[in-house]
Amino acid sequence: MPINQPASQIKLTNVSMVRMKKGKKRFEIACYQNKVQDWRSKVEKDLDEVLQIPQVFTNVSKGQVASNEDLLTAFGSTDVDTIIQEILDKGEIQLNEKERQANISQKTNEFLTIISTKCINPKTKKRYPPSMIQKCLDQLKFHLSPTKPTKQQALDAIKLLVAKQIVPIARAQMKVKITVATKVKKQLFDDQIKELIDHVEEENTPNARVFECVGIIDPVNYKEISDILIKKKNDASIEVLDMAAIKE
């Protein structure tokens, strides 16, 4: 004879949990892996695709379902769908060990890739592979935090690598050639663009109508310079001469 499982005991496996503390009680919902972020970014709009089961728990791992009395006391309602959406939108995501390791691995790869693409060996002008970057950071005892923004940590790591020079390393910059009509040079180049150039290598006027500047810029300034020049259309342009340049 089959043994019936109590309705208040539901066992789930391979779940992502979202938890919210309301009043003195803890409430949880069981979701499919990776679907919570899809819901929050509005990529996924179907609750059925997010939830493993449309139920509110007090403890997912033990299969303990929240009673109507608990829901009413904490949320002022027993409308499960509304409560689930509140927990889904505002609750804290609880990663299981497999997800946590995958998340750390993904963040580490992103972190090392940012550094690798932004730095070069100033002698060879070649980029270091992520594995070499990791070895250097290990020597410097720089450890990636899973809770802090990846990009900011990468920029902090670059400053440390450049300062310590365990291997010859420099922040990769761009060499560009900027051309503007002499009639708009002061308004366009002198007043707006020159401050965005890290190092001017050469300035010349090949003829009375055109001014040219070859300089080194930080890659983050490229779009801003380009946007300024685009507004002048035929009177201005920018050309990339070297994607892995360094200031001498």
Instruction: List, for residues 210-235, the tens digit of each pLDDT value.
Output: 999 999 998 889 999 999 998 877 78
Total of domains in the chain? 3
Q: Looking at the structure, do residues 132 and 167 belong to the same domain, yes or no?
A: yes
* Structure tokens given for 218: 């930080």
- Is residue 9 one of the residues assigned to a domain? no
Domain-terminating residue out of 150, 171, 192: 171
The separation between the first and the last C-alpha atoms of the chain, rounded to the nearest angstrom, is 83
Whether residue 1 is contained in a domain is answered as: no
Whether 105 and 80 share a structural domain: no
Strands 199-207 and 210-217, bridge-based pairing: antiparallel
Domain boundary among 171, 198, 232: 171
In a shared domain, residues 73 and 111 = no
Residues 177 and 162 in one domain: no
Distances (CA, A) of 236 to 100, 166, 180, 207: 50, 42, 4, 15
Choose one of 94, 126, 148: the last residue of a domain.
94
Residue 147 domain flag: yes
Q: Where are the alpha helices (DSSP H) in 4-129?
A: 35-40, 47-50, 68-75, 80-90, 97-118
Residue 138 CB partners (closer than 8 Å, separation 6+): none
151 and 196 belong to one structural domain: no
Same domain, 36 and 88: yes
Token pair, residue 45, equals: 């709009």
**What is the C-alpha separation between 94 and 100, in angstroms, rounded?**
9
| Distance of alpha carbon 35 from alpha carbon 46, whole angstroms | 10
pTM: 0.56
103-132, pLDDT tens digit by residue?
788 899 999 999 998 899 988 888 999 999
Asked if residue 188 lies in contact with residue 227, where contact means CB atoms within 8 angstroms, the answer is: no
Residues forming beta bridges with residue 57, ordered by sequence position: 28, 65
Predicted confidence at residue 179, as pLDDT, reads 93
Domain that holds residue 158: 97-171
110 and 163 housed in the same domain: yes
What's the mean per-residue pLDDT of the chain?
A: 87
Asked if 177 and 167 sit in the same domain, the reply is no
CATH code for the domain in which residue 111 is found: 1.10.10.900
